Amino acid sequence: MKKLDLMAMCRQNLMRRKGRTFLTVLGVMIGACAIIIMVSIGIGMKESQEKMLSEMGDLTIINVNPPPANMKKVPAMDANLLRTIRGMPGVVFVTPKLTAEDVTLKVVAGKDKRYVCDYVTVVGMQRNAPVKLGYKLIEGGQLKERKGSVLLGENFAYLFRDTKRPEGRNMVDTSSMYMMEEGQQAAETPTPYFDPLKTPLELVVETTVNGKTQTKSYPLKPEGKLKEDYAKGGETADGMLLFDEELSRILTEARRGTEAANRKSKGYPQVIVKVKDVSRVAEVENQIKQMGYVTNSMESIRKPMEKEAQEKQMMLGGLGAISLLVAALGITNTMIMSISERTREIGIMKALGCKIDDIRTLFLLEAGSIGLIGGFAAIATSLLISSILNVVQSKKTLESVEQLMQILTTPGSRMSVIPLWLIGFSLVFSVFIGLFSGFHPANKAVRIPALEAIKSE
Amino acid sequence: MSEKQDSRSKPLIRVRDLRKVYAVGEERVVALDKINLTIMQGETCCIFGTSGSGKSTLLNQLAGMEKPSVGDVFIGNSAISRMPEADLAIFRQRYLGFIFQSYNLLPQLTAVENVALPLAFRGIEKHVRNRMAVELLKRVGLRHRLTHYPGQMSGGQQQRVGIARAFINRPKVVFADEPTGNLDTRTTGEVLHMMKEFAAEFNETLILVTHDPGIQTYADRVVTLRDGVVISNIKGGQPDEA
């Protein structure tokens, strides 16, 4: 028989018993819907977990620190270590992170050094580190290859006191930035005394050697302003970031003659490693740990959360699978009913020369169609249910289509997420369930003899 | 008209030493025994007998619906009694037609679709087979019933659809199992004339199974069964030794 004829016949047969076909399709729909919704809730859960974790810090970054002094001997963290780590599979970027530690750094700005910052967090990293580690800029550009090139923290300007104002009123009042009513947007940011990107800055190093205080200044060339992100470090807020070799030179000069200079070099105080993706973090972190260094990353938090999410997802998916199993039994039942009703008809078809394969195909087609229609209905229904869940979850009243779209497309805040693969999977799965359920009845139909046509009723 | 063809025709259906035994519980019932029969091409053969005589069982063996316990049935050169199910489907598509007592039209199909069904099984294009079906339905006088469903037609009309369906693929043999069993006398005459006419047109063999002695008059050959055995085989009024 021609494929088109088989399909037309299949349609006719399904339409003959509309009620029964509808109920069977409904069964498949409910089953498939249960699976889709359960899995989508699992995905939503995972998504919001990931969002939460990424707010806590970058999931692909590992911080490496030297072991405590009294622990076993491990080589200092130096250029060699950087090279070793860079060679590990999955590692995309490695940078040392220098801090001033024992040296006091000041910054002066403006005409006659009117503005003074008495303490500032200074961090030294490789020149391309801010780009590689995902530091965000509010203003200006990245570090350049020139002396004094520096990126400033978002609130850098508020660190300065005005030497021409009286004590107690010589700093910008920033309290308004932190006093927010719940749900209220941050109040207007206060205006700083000057724009540090456009004002000459100087880094001043004060050291005390044998009771005498020495000062040394280094002109700074601010390139841009960083966005505050404490997950990355304090330098993005009230500090500054410059090229590690430059900072290292400044620190060495400052320590000259002091006790610190006599101590043996301890290497970098911290190394930051960026891994290609989350799945490689554990592997790389383990390797570094085995070398004797202390590491930390979001992995230790992410792992158990992921496991828990997986367990929940499995449980939810299992519930859905049970309902689909029941639906599969429904299809089998419908097909067996249909065959016993159509025994004579199948006999007639055989007597008129219908091939066995065509009869089998016809029944599989009918069962598969029930699965397919059920699958389509399930997808439509699940998309609707999912949207309702998300809107309810967002606790917002719907005012516009744009707002609805925003609720449905913002990752991390959605309760249920139906990705494209889930739609495709459920469709294929529904059809498969249909065919699987129709397999036994189809074989039963094939065995009906042509003689049934002649038997009197 | 048929006599002229008969004289030149070759044997088409040959039955050799056929025996059919059914197991009913512990017992074994012999439904047919020692059947030897030759039916010529273009012949109209009436298998006559009372209920339980084995006439329907014989039809089943001839049409390949059931396998005999012993013996063989040949249609042309094909041993239909030994044919596997898959080959039988093809054989039926090409060479056999069926007319049933209770018409056996598919209720979800229109008259045209029912008639065209055997051609659909052969994979013939819809517009081709429907045109052929319409042609044949016009010839059986159902010009105004083409798109009617079986439920909307009388018994006589349904059986005429059944006849059109049996002849649409130009079979070699048409089997008719009590074709007029559910019809009144007047319709019976019409239906039998129609079958004879179609069969004669293409020199097709017609096997009529009936318990109605009146139908014998339409046949070239009358085979009478009693208790599973052929008690007479009369061709054109003369006993035929086959």
At A156-172, the pLDDT tens digits run: 888 888 888 888 788 88
| Helix axis angle, B155-167 to B111-121, nearest 10° | 20
DSSP letter at A90 equals T
CB contact under 8 A, B108 and A449: no
Residue B48 lies in a domain: yes
Chain A residue at shortest CA distance from B125: A2
A457 CB neighbours in chain B (<8 A) are 102
User: By the 8 A CB rule, do A115 and A162 touch?
Assistant: yes
Residue A57 has pLDDT above 50, yes or no: yes
Instruction: Say how far residue B76 (Cα) sits from the centre of its chain.
Output: 16
Return residues 17-46 of B near A (CB < 8 Å).
none
- To the nearest whole angstrom, how far is the Cα of A443 from the nearest Cα of chain B? 14
In the numeric block, the tokens 């019933």 are attached to B145
**CB pair distance less than 8 Å for B121 and A352:** yes
Contact list in B for residue A453 (CB cut-off 8 A) is 98, 100, 104
Do the chains contact at B126 and A12, CB–CB below 8 Å? Answer: no
Cα(A142)–Cα(A151) distance, rounded to whole angstroms?
A: 7
Whether A263 has a pLDDT exceeding 60, the answer reads no
Pairing of strands B27-40, B173-177: unpaired
Q: What is the CATH number of the domain that holds B110?
A: 3.40.50.300
**Which residues of chain B are within 8 Å of residue A1 when distances are taken between CB atoms?**
120-121, 123
* Residue A403 Cα distances to A182, A381, A415, angstroms: 21, 21, 16
Q: Is B228 left (phi over 0), alpha (psi -120 to 50) or beta?
A: left
pLDDT digits (tens, 9 = 90+) for A111-159: 888 888 888 888 899 888 888 888 888 888 888 888 888 898 888 888 8
pLDDT reading at A456 higher than 70: no
Nearest to B65 among A4, A450, A456 (CB): A450
- Which pLDDT belongs to residue A178? 64
| Contact residues, chain A, for B117 at CB < 8 Å | 349, 352
- Mark yes or no for CB contact A353/B177 under 8 Å: no
Question: Going by C-beta distance under 8 Å and a sequence separation of 6 or more, which residues neighbour residue A90?
Answer: A275, A276, A277, A280, A283, A284
* A354 → closest Cβ in B94, B100, B121: B121
- What confidence score (pLDDT) does residue B58 get? 93
Domain ranges of chain A: 3-55+304-453, 58-93+273-297, 102-268
Residue with tokens 């044919």: B83
Whether A356 and B86 lie within 8 Å, measured CB to CB: yes
Chain A CB contacts of B63 below 8 Å? 351
Q: Structurally, how many domains does chain B consist of?
A: 1
Test A453 with B98 for CB contact under 8 angstroms: yes
* pLDDT of B1 strictly over 50: no
- Does any CB of chain A come closer than 8 Å to the CB of residue B182? no
Q: Are A353 and B125 a contacting pair at CB < 8 A?
A: no
Minimal CA separation from B104 to chain A, in Å = 7
Residue B139 in any domain: the answer is yes
Contacts of B139 (CB under 8 A, 6+ apart): B164
- CA angle B146–B150–B154, rounded 5-degree value: 95
Cβ of A352 under 8 Å from any chain B Cβ? yes
Instruction: Determine, for residues A353 and B66 on separate chains, whether the beta-carbon distance falls below 8 Å.
Output: no
**Which residues of chain A neighbour B121 with C-beta distances below 8 Å?**
1, 349, 352-355, 358
Average pLDDT value for chain A: 84
The pTM of this model reads 0.71
Across the A:B interface, residue pairs with CB atoms under 8 Å apart total 76
- Helix, strand, coil % over all residues of chain A, rounded to 5: 55, 15, 30
Which residue range(s) make up the domain with B163? 2-235
Residues 6+ positions from B230 with CB-CB distance below 8 Å: B34, B35, B36, B37, B223, B224
User: Is the CB of residue B211 less than 8 Å away from at least one CB of chain A?
Assistant: no
Backbone angles phi, psi at B206, to 5 degrees: -120, 125
Distance from CA of A349 to the nearest CA of B (A): 8
CB proximity A447 to B under 8 Å: no
A16 touching chain B per CB within 8 A: yes
Contact A211, A198 (CB under 8 A): no
pLDDT tens per residue across span A373-432: 999 999 999 999 998 888 888 777 777 777 777 777 777 778 888 999 999 999 999 999
According to DSSP, the residues that pair with A411 across neighbouring strands are: none
Find, in chain A, the residue whose alpha carbon is nearest to that of B166.
A352
3-state secondary structure of A342: coil
| B46-95 residue pLDDT tens | 999 998 899 989 999 999 989 999 999 999 999 999 999 889 989 999 99
A3 CB neighbours in chain B (<8 A) are: none
Contact assignment for B104 to A344 by CB distance below 8 Å: yes
Residue B176 placed within a domain: yes
Question: Could you give the CA distance from residue A379 to residue A363 in angstroms, rounded to a whole number?
Answer: 24
Residues of chain A contacting B93 with CB distance shorter than 8 Å? 353
Question: Chain A, 297-316: which have a CB under 8 Å from a chain B CB?
Answer: none
Question: Pick from A4, A16, A355: which is nearest to B89 by CB?
Answer: A355
- pLDDT, tens digit, for every residue of A214-224? 788 888 888 99
All residues at 6 or more sequence positions from A439 whose CB lies less than 8 Å from its CB, including other chains: A364, A367
The reply to whether residue B120 touches residue A349, judged by beta carbons under 8 angstroms, is no
* CB-nearest partner of B108 from A16, A349, A354: A16
CA distance A433 to B77: 46
d(CA A219, CA A107): 10
- The predicted-structure confidence for B116-159, as pLDDT tens digits, reads as follows 999 999 999 999 999 999 999 999 999 999 999 999 999 999 99
Is A398's Cβ below 8 Å from some Cβ in B? no
| pLDDT computed for residue B239 by the predictor | 83
- Nearest CA to A333 out of A441, A258, A225 is that of A441
Nearest to A149 by CA among A227, A220, A219: A220
